[in-house]
Amino acid sequence: MKRWRVRTATSPLRGEVSVPGDKSIGHRALIFAALAEGDCVVRGLSGGLDNLATADALREMGVAIEREGSTARVGGVGLRGLRIPPGQLDCGNSGTTMRLLAGLLVAQRFGTRLVGDASLSRRPMKRLIEPLRARGGLIAGTVRLESQDLYAPLSVAPLLEHEHLIGLEHEMGVASAQVKTALLLSGLYARGLTAIREPVLSRDHTERMLRALGVPLERLGPMVVLDPSEWRGGWDPFEWEVPGDPSSAAFFLAAAHLVPKSEITVKSVCVNPTRTGFFDVLRAMGSTAYLLPQGDAAGDEPLADVLVERSVSLVGTRTGGELVTRMIDEVPAFAAMAAGARGRTEIRDAEELRVKESDRIATMTLVLRAFGVACEELEDGLRIEGGARLKAAHVQSGGDHRIAMSAAVLALRAEGETIVDDVDCVDTSFPGFAATLRALGADIVEEHVAADVDSAPRSGVVGSAGGAS
């Protein structure tokens, strides 16, 4: 098991860094390449385990995928070319792998079973299963006595020769790009329209990519309509470059604002407007960070370098509504940054955080308190009193990559040496995180400890430095 030791930053962070390819776009690029009519190249993929889980699942279904560094050569098999996998498909920790593949698999003429790790097996699947069933998909989740929802493992039965999926009009209860994408993927095979309405527009990478591939798809605000009636039923091979992940960039921007006078540049980040809530809220807090446009990446995704020149101290803010949807994965980094801002920060309308890789409202509350931050856990968010002196802490990630990285950036501002336990999970999205933070001047050391050495505080997820809690 890996852990980090992080010391207070004694001088400003400085330098230029790159982040791994965007995880959401990586999953989609691999799936669309697998379904293309010929050989595709996807460059700039993150080496994270989540994208690898999608690649492995596609391989299990007969797609040839060769990886060399961040480039994947994918032998597309066409929309009807996937084959029955020899066993169950393991999605690991990746909710996106499971939900996206479920949408694809309900349309196939073979059956499959999707499994995940303990964290993924606790995440809600009813929101996915119900609309897929409504269009004729034969998909079942696992029932748990103590809950109203459905969970992984998911079992998908084959459609027979004379069976097919039908059109679907669906109003989503929560904005979810994973569910939206699953419905659009199943819609590629359906006889009839797929019309989806979200309460707020979630990330729209799937819509942009499908349109770039010539799929007849229209969008009107938070409503998307796919009409395959006149469509030829496939797309040509492509070469795509995945832009940098704004959710990974957020940790460096938070770090730059926690360590005064820092000067950093994060290169080639995806600045699709459905992903830029974190940059917007930064500005509302008084940051002088700015975006330097760098054109478009393939799949119609705008790119920019993000610059912070001599970071200034920020003031607390209140955020909620659609802004939170546009920064949902950045909330842990944002909460860490808010601890260093003057005054109160309140994050509302973020209840979805309770069903991510961990319950991020609860885990972030514990982490912040361990560093000495006064933080109130709200049903749908957090209330953080910023500006207090932070003390070093001994915290656990709770198996959640974004919690681990948020704790590391908080530690830069805290007095003393912080230990972050159980950081193996960071490999799901950002295997080189500690080295990248070190390149900016942070004192962070990664060490391996035997899994049976219980270095963690005995009670709860976190404790103050020294392990006493």
For residues 86 and 70, give the distance between their C-alpha atoms in angstroms, rounded to a whole number.
27
Alpha helices in 348-432 (DSSP H): 360-370, 401-411
Closest CB to ligand S3P among residues 96, 406: 96
Residue type, 215: V
**Judged by CB under 6 A, which stretch of 75-83, 176-184, 312-320, 377-385 contacts ligand S3P?**
176-184
Q: Is 329 in the site for ligand S3P (CB under 6 A)?
A: yes
Q: Is 93 in the site for ligand S3P (CB under 6 A)?
A: no
Quote the least distance from Cβ 343 to ligand S3P, whole Å: 28
Which region holds residue 405: left if phi is over 0, alpha if psi is between -120 and 50, else beta?
alpha
For residues 409 and 252, give the distance between their C-alpha atoms in angstroms, rounded to a whole number.
8
Closest CB to ligand S3P among residues 178, 396: 178
Quote the least distance from Cβ 358 to ligand S3P, whole Å: 13
Query: Is 427 an active-site residue?
Result: no
Nearby residues of 130 by Cβ (< 8 Å), 6 or more positions away? none
Q: Is 96 in the site for ligand S3P (CB under 6 A)?
A: yes
Spatial contact of 237 and 230, defined as CB atoms under 8 Å apart: no
Quote the least distance from Cβ 109 to ligand S3P, whole Å: 26
Q: What are phi and psi of 397, to 5 degrees?
A: -75, -20
Q: Is 328 in the site for ligand S3P (CB under 6 A)?
A: yes
Residues 178-237 that bind ligand S3P (CB under 6 A): 178, 181, 202-203
For residues 16 and 155, give the distance between their C-alpha atoms in angstroms, rounded to a whole number.
46
For residues 268 and 172, give the distance between their C-alpha atoms in angstroms, rounded to a whole number.
32
**Judged by CB under 6 A, which stretch of 133-141, 150-158, 172-180, 275-283 contacts ligand S3P?**
172-180
**Judged by CB under 6 A, which stretch of 154-162, 177-185, 251-259, 296-304 contacts ligand S3P?**
177-185
Torsion, Cα of 321, 290, 307, 344 (10° steps): -40
- Token pair belonging to 142: 């696992």
Spatial contact of 202 and 180, defined as CB atoms under 8 Å apart: yes
Mask 354-383, x = binds ligand S3P (CB under 6 A)?
------------------------------
Closest CB to ligand S3P among residues 23, 413: 23
# chain residues binding ligand S3P, by CB under 6 A = 11
Of the candidates 329, 400, 422, 427, the residue annotated as catalytic is: 329
Spatial contact of 360 and 400, defined as CB atoms under 8 Å apart: yes
**Judged by CB under 6 A, which stretch of 175-183, 309-317, 380-388, 413-421 contacts ligand S3P?**
175-183
The residue whose Cβ lies closest to ligand S3P is: 24
List the catalytic residues: 329
